[in-house]
Amino acid sequence: MKLNIVPARTGILWVKLGIQTFLRQPLALAGLFFMYMAAVLVLGAVPFLGPVVIMVLMPAATLGMMVATEHAAQGRFPMPSLLVSAFRAGKQRARAMLVLGVIYALVLVAISLLATLIFPEGISVEAVEGAAAGAPQIQVKPGFLFAGALQLPFVVLFAHAPALVHWHGVSPVKSLFFSAIAFWRNFAAFVVFGGAWLFVLVLVGFAFSLLLALLGGGVSGTLMLPVTLLVITMMATSMYFSFRDSFQVSSDEPAAPALPPEDSTP
């Protein structure tokens, strides 16, 4: 495995490729993301154990979207089974992915506990009654902001770690290290990448503001959630290209494990 150093403008290319690839298979990729969200909602309803399972499986789900993006970019139909690609590539890769998931869960739990100790009032986001009747406002507690600030560096660490474990056979701990190095060496490109997606989100928010002014809250409120989820799906799709361009296979590296064959027709 070798690290590629890319120019800052590559961040825009990653966003462009993510959107283009999503538009090649919009129903399939959106369907996969919605399946993942549905699984999160179901598991989240299980007291205590559910959220822990969600955190442990998060790296595997990240990899699943990357593999689905790879298939779509190659003109193949991304099947639902790709979401569990981490567990279809052999026991060694599956075990490493679970270890990575346990590390991810432990880090998030530790951050949440620390934020709760420092901010006893909680680390949640709540809807409170606004000044105008029937106009609720979102109240973000300081603990939530503190926890988010601590989580951000670890999100960077885990961005490419699942893909490194799966495609390059890197151990869980080393995958976190190499993911951080890739981000640091290509910092300008990732800043442009994040800035471009922030710009897209601002445009979407502005469009909904116009809809709210023109058509009222009914139509804009109905469309807001699905459109937001589609944009998040495009963001997840674009992450594959940031990984693909940051690393390359070295000549002495063993080939990535092949997934079991499956029907590629929708």
pLDDT in tens, 155-196: 888 889 999 999 998 999 999 999 999 999 999 999 999 999
Rounded CA gap, 78 and 206, in Å? 32
C-alpha separations of 231 from 30, 128, 200 in Å: 10, 27, 8
- Helix (H/G/I), strand (E/B), else coil: 125: strand
CA 147 from chain centre, in angstroms, equals 18
Please classify residue 112 by burial: count the beta carbons closer than 10 Å to its beta carbon, then call 0-12 exposed, 13-18 middle and 19+ buried. Answer: middle
Give the pTM.
0.83
Mean pLDDT calculated for residue range 140-166: 84
Q: Is the dihedral of CA 96, 106, 44, 71 positive or negative?
A: negative
Q: Tell me if 125 sits within 8 A of 146, measured CB to CB.
A: no
Please say if the pLDDT value at position 134 is more than 50: no
Highest mean pLDDT among 94-103, 129-138, 222-231, 255-264: 94-103
pLDDT at residue number 207: 82
pLDDT at residue number 226: 81
- What is the Cβ-side half-sphere exposure of residue 66, based on CA atoms within 13 angstroms? 23
